[in-house]
Structure 1
Amino acid sequence: MSRQWHTSEAQAARYAGGTLPEPDAWSLEKHLETCAGCASRVSAAVRATAAGPVLTDVRGAVLAAAVPEGAPVAVQGSATGATRFSRLWWAAGPAVRGAWSAALLVVAGAALLLGHLGGAPEARNLLLAFAPVVPVAGVALSYGPHADPLYELAASTPGGGLRLALTRTAAVLAVSLPVLTLTGLLLPASGAPAAAAWLLPGLALTLATLALAPLTGFLTASAVTAGGWLCAVLAPSPDEIGARLARCLDGAPAQSAWAAAVALSALLLAARRTAYDRTH
C-alpha cells in the first residue's frame, strides 16, 4: 500500500456500515495502524452509526474500570504501562512458556554437565547438533491453534498473522540465543567447529520454518526443517557425528552457505507474507 494513500469520508462510512468489501476492509484496517488521521476519520464514522452510542458507553466503562475517575496522572501512566506490558506478554507469552523452555534448559544443562565431566568433544557435539533446532521447536509451539486458545481471534486482527508470528519468534530467539551461546562459552575448549557455529544454521532453520508454515502448518514445517537437520547430522552412524558437524558448520564455505540460506529464507518469507492471513 502506498504511504500517500488515505481513506475518504465515503470509504470510512462504508467501512463503518459494514458494506466495504472484505479485501478493502483488510487493507483499510492495516493502514489505520500507522495513520492517525485516517483512524480518526473512521472512528468518527463509526460513532455516527447506530452502534456509536453503545460503543461509546462500552469504551467509557472499560476506561473507568482500568483507571478510576480522578486518578493522578502518574497512576494513569502506570495503568497504561501495565496495559502495554500485558499486551506484550500476551503476544510473546506462548513463545517462552511450557515445554519448550524446559527443553532449552535440558539441552544447555546436559551439554554443560557432559563437558565438565570430561567429555568436552561429546558436549560440543551435543550442543551443535541440538542447538539449531531449539528455536525451531520454540516457534512451532508458540503459534497456531495448538498453542493459543485465542488464535482464531488473534489471526483475524490486523496485528495477527505474520506480525504476531514474528513477535513470538523474536521472543524465542531472545531467550534461546543468549542461553545457548553462554553454554557454548562455558564449555571446555575442544577444537573446531566453534561452539557458536550453530547460530547461522539455527537462524536459517527458523526462517525456513516460518516460510514453510503457511503451506503445511507450524508443527509440520518444524518437523520437516528440524527433522531434516537432525537426520543429516545424527544418521546413519552416531560415531561420525563430529565429522558430519564439521562438514556442515566449520569453515567459511559452510558458514557462507548458511548465510545464503538465511537470506533466501527471509526473501521467501517476505514474498509469502500475505499467506499468513490464512495460516492454521
Structure 2
Amino acid sequence: MTWHVAEDDLRAYAQGELAPPLLWSADAHLTGCAPCRARLAEAADPIALDAAWERLDAELDAPRPGPVERLLARLGVAEHTARLLAATPVLRRSWLLSVLFLLVMTVLAVRVADQPMLFLALAPLLPLAGVALSYGPSLDPTYEMAVVAPLHGFRLLMIRTVAVLTAGLVFNGLASLALPGYGLLALAWLLPALALTGTGLALSTRLGSVLAPALVGGGWLALLAVAAVSSRTPGTLAPFTAAGQGAAACVALLAALLLYQSRDRFDARPLGGFHDGGAV
C-alpha cells in the first residue's frame, strides 16, 4: 500500500459519519490493508464497526445493474421498475437475437418465394409470444419480485407489455422495410398484432398466462388456414384486406376495453398468477 486512510477519516468511518466518495474509498482500502484494519479496531466502537462491515458486505453482495437497467435509470425510470424491466426474459439478448434471426429468415423466404403472406402470418405472433413470456409464475423468473413490487399489478403488466411491444414492433417494422416491393401490404401485420396481443392479455385473467396466448395464437393460425381455403384472389388473405384490417382494429379496441375492465384481477392474482389455466 502506498497510502493509508487518514486518522480523521478513519475516526469518522468508525462512527458511521464518513460520506461518499471517501466512504467508498475507505471501504475498498480496508478490505486489503491489514494495518488500517488494526487501527480501525483500536479506535472504533465494536457495534459501529460491525455495522460498517455489514454495510460493506451488503454493498459487495448487491447485484450490479446491467447496461439496460442503467440506461432505463438514466431515462428516469424508478430503480425497482428498471430492474423488473431489465429482468424481463424477452428483453434479453438471446430472445432478441432469436426474433431477429427468425425475421431475417422469413424475409429471405418471402423474397425467394414471392409470398408476403409468410411474413404477415408470422409477424403478429411474435409480439403475442413476447408479451406472454413476460409475466406469470411459470414463465417469469422474477415473478415473486414483481408481486411484492410497490406497483399496481395492472400497471406493472402494462409497463412490461409496452416495453416488449416496443422491441417487437421495432424489429417487425425493420423487417417490413426490407419488403419495399409490397408497399402498404408489408405493414398489414400491425393491427392483427395489436389485436392478438390485446386478446391474449384480456383472456389471461380467466385462462392463465400460458393457455390464453396459446389459444389466441392457434386461433390466428386456424383463421389464416380458413382464409387461404376460401380466398378467391390468389396471394391475398381476408385478414390483410381493408375489411380484415378494420375487423382487427375493432378486436384490438374491444380487447383493450375488456383488459381495462378486468385490471383488478391482476392484483387478486398478481401478473396473471396462474398455472396452466388454474388459479394460484
Shared fold per TM-score greater than 0.5: yes
Question: Which one of the candidate residues 253, 256, 260 is aligned to 1:266?
Answer: 256
Question: Which one of the candidate residues 161, 173, 197 is aligned to 1:169?
Answer: 161
CA displacement, residues 54-90 of structure 1 (integer Å, 9 cap, x when unaligned)? xxx99x959x959xxxxxxxxxxx9x74994674143
- Separation (CA, whole Å) in 1 of partners of 2:122 and 2:203: 21
- Separation (CA, whole Å) in 2 of partners of 1:99 and 1:230: 26
Specify the code of the residue in structure 2 equivalent to 1:261.
V
CA displacement, residues 25-64 of structure 1 (integer Å, 9 cap, x when unaligned)? xxxxxxxxxxxxxxxxxxxxxxxxxxxxxxxx99x959x9
Q: Aligned with 1:195: secondary structure?
A: helix
Farther-moved stretch of structure 1 (151-160 vs 261-270): 151-160
Specify the code of the residue in structure 2 equivalent to 1:211.
A
Question: What corresponds to 2:87 in structure 1?
Answer: 93
- Separation (CA, whole Å) in 2 of partners of 1:241 and 1:146: 43
- Separation (CA, whole Å) in 2 of partners of 1:155 and 1:189: 47
Q: Aligned with 2:151: secondary structure?
A: coil
Tell me how many residue pairs correspond in the alignment: 207
Is the CA contact 1:112–1:187 (under 8 Å) kept in the aligned structure 2? yes
Question: What corresponds to 1:249 in structure 2?
Answer: 240
Specify the code of the residue in structure 2 equivalent to 1:141.
L
Is the CA contact 2:110–2:118 (under 8 Å) kept in the aligned structure 1? no
Is the CA contact 1:132–1:198 (under 8 Å) kept in the aligned structure 2? yes
Cα 1:157–1:225 change in 2 (3 A) is: same
CA positional deviation for 1:260: 1.0
- Separation (CA, whole Å) in 1 of partners of 2:236 and 2:159: 30
Is the CA contact 1:107–1:127 (under 8 Å) kept in the aligned structure 2? no
Is the CA contact 1:129–1:245 (under 8 Å) kept in the aligned structure 2? no
Question: What corresponds to 1:125 in structure 2?
Answer: 117
Sequence identity (%) = 35
CA displacement, residues 101-142 of structure 1 (integer Å, 9 cap, x when unaligned)? 3442233111222244x322x2x1111001111001001111
Uncovered stretches (5+) of structure 1, i.e. residues with no partner: 1-56, 67-77
Farther-moved stretch of structure 1 (154-163 vs 240-249): 240-249
Is the CA contact 2:231–2:237 (under 8 Å) kept in the aligned structure 1? no
Uncovered stretches (5+) of structure 2, i.e. residues with no partner: 1-50, 61-70, 274-280
Q: Greater Rg, structure 1 or structure 2?
A: 2
Question: What's the TM-score, normalizing by structure 2?
Answer: 0.62
Question: What corresponds to 2:14 in structure 1?
Answer: none
Specify the code of the residue in structure 2 equivalent to 1:233.
L
1:228 has 2:219 as partner: yes
1:184 has 2:176 as partner: yes
CA positional deviation for 1:205: 0.7
1:203 has 2:198 as partner: no
Is the CA contact 2:227–2:238 (under 8 Å) kept in the aligned structure 1? no
Question: What corresponds to 2:203 in structure 1?
Answer: 212
Question: What's the TM-score, normalizing by structure 1?
Answer: 0.62
- Separation (CA, whole Å) in 2 of partners of 1:106 and 1:262: 28
- Separation (CA, whole Å) in 2 of partners of 1:265 and 1:139: 15
CA displacement, residues 175-233 of structure 1 (integer Å, 9 cap, x when unaligned)? 11121122112125247x70101101100110111111111211111101111101221
- Separation (CA, whole Å) in 2 of partners of 1:215 and 1:150: 22
Question: Which one of the candidate residues 142, 159, 169 is aligned to 1:150?
Answer: 142
- Separation (CA, whole Å) in 2 of partners of 1:88 and 1:155: 15
Question: What corresponds to 1:29 in structure 2?
Answer: none
